[in-house]
Homo-oligomer: A and B are copies of this chain.
Amino acid sequence: MDGLWFKEWRPGRRYMLKIRPGELLTARLKAFAREAGIKNAFIVSAVGSVKNVRLRGIKAGARLPITEPRMHVHQFEGPLELLGLEGNLVPDGKGEIDCHLHILAARSSGEVVGGHLFDAEVFASCEILVSEGLVEGIERHASKSGGVPTIFIEDPE
């Protein structure tokens, strides 16, 4: 369909993970996926607290493609309440597990900050629900027009 691709993503296993203080979110998620033999998955739910959050925003008024001068990198020392983690684990072009995660976290004032997550360290605890998808032909590649890696769907419906 014009402007939209879609593909059925059959449900696989579902896991509750707990990541312990001092561990890095993305490294632990990838290690979990390798250990459990998961290729495709998405984050259903994530609560806990984090510190040293490094994330990226897009500069106001930026055009495509999203290049480095068009991004703002922020570092939040925290600790912050982790309010959400949205995204998916989809293999890259070499079949390696790759995460695309966006984070939502609260400052002590209650204000919420967020963006494209580079990495964050778990503060007190982190409880994540991950759901596996049984699907072939979905990979993440760099998009020339967009400037960022994004999923490509082979034989969309």
Contacts and interface: CB of A to CB of B under 8 A. Distances in A.
A65 interface: yes
A110 B110 contact: no
Given A16-B151, A72-B109, A3 B22 contact: yes
Prevailing SS type, chain A contact patch: strand
Contact of A6 (B36, B110, B157): B36
A150 B124 contact: yes
Interface in A99-144: 100-104, 106-116, 123-125, 127, 129, 131, 133, 135, 138, 143
30 contacts: A1-B32, A4-B18, A5-B20, A6-B15, A6-B17, A6-B36, A9-B15, A18-B151, A42-B44, A42-B45, A45-B86, A47-B100, A56-B81, A57-B108, A60-B79, A60-B108, A62-B108, A72-B109, A81-B116, A83-B103, A83-B104, A84-B84, A104-B112, A104-B114, A106-B113, A106-B115, A112-B114, A124-B148, A125-B143, A125-B146
